[in-house]
Structure 1
Amino acid sequence: MFFTYILYSAILDTYYVGSTSNLDERIKKHNTNHKGFTGKAPDWVIKWAEKHSSKEEAGRRERQIKAWKSRKMIEQLVAKQ
């Protein structure tokens, strides 16, 4: 099982879109102090997740959401869950 997910950080007031095969472990990683974008804040919470049967499917959905480049559209998607 694979997931496409959206995280939110209140500290940064921003969303992050990603995909993974292990959602719990991935969120733990995002909330650690590391060099990546999500390492800037320790308060990432999951706002939305969608299951997929393949890594390719999850990656396609991640790229689709990122291509929106629209906070409003992401917030609409999150509100539907």
Structure 2
Amino acid sequence: MYFVYILYSASRDVYYKGFSENVERRLLYHLESKSKYTSGTNDWKIVYVQEFESKSQALIEEKRLKKLNRVSLEKLIKDKD
């Protein structure tokens, strides 16, 4: 399975969108500052996850999410609950 996820950092008040086959392992990667964009922040939380059967479907959705504005992202997160 493949996953598209959104992380949120309260200290930076920012969302990060990504793709992974293992979201929990990927979160640790971000928390350990191994990603340039998310480095230096250790309060990332998973706020949204969507599962896909194919890698291509997940990558298409990741690309779509990256184009969304903040209001649209927050609505998507809220509606998923």
CA distance in 2: counterparts of 1:39 and 1:64, whole angstroms: 24
Consecutive unaligned residues in structure 2, runs of 5 or more: none
Shift of the alpha carbon at 1:39? Answer: 0.8
Query: Which residue of structure 1 lines up, in the alignment, with residue 27 of structure 2?
Result: 27
Q: Alignment length, in residue pairs? A: 80
User: Contact 2:29/2:35 (CA < 8 Å) preserved in 1?
Assistant: no
CA distance in 1: counterparts of 2:33 and 2:18, whole angstroms: 18
Query: Which residue of structure 1 lines up, in the alignment, with residue 5 of structure 2?
Result: 5
CA distance in 1: counterparts of 2:27 and 2:72, whole angstroms: 22
Query: Which residue of structure 2 lines up, in the alignment, with residue 45 of structure 1?
Result: 45
Q: If the length of structure 1 is used for normalisation, what is the TM-score?
A: 0.93
Q: Which amino acid is the alignment partner of residue 10 of structure 2?
A: A
RMSD: 1.0
Shift of the alpha carbon at 1:56? Answer: 1.1
Q: Which amino acid is the alignment partner of residue 45 of structure 1?
A: K
CA distance in 1: counterparts of 2:33 and 2:55, whole angstroms: 26
SS of the residue corresponding to residue 42 of structure 2 reads: coil
Query: Which residue of structure 2 lines up, in the alignment, with residue 56 of structure 1?
Result: 56
Q: Which amino acid is the alignment partner of residue 63 of structure 1?
A: K
Change (3 A) 1:46 1:62: same
Consecutive unaligned residues in structure 1, runs of 5 or more: none
Q: If the length of structure 2 is used for normalisation, what is the TM-score?
A: 0.93
Identity %: 34
Kindly indicate whether residue 17 of structure 2 is the aligned counterpart of residue 14 of structure 1: no
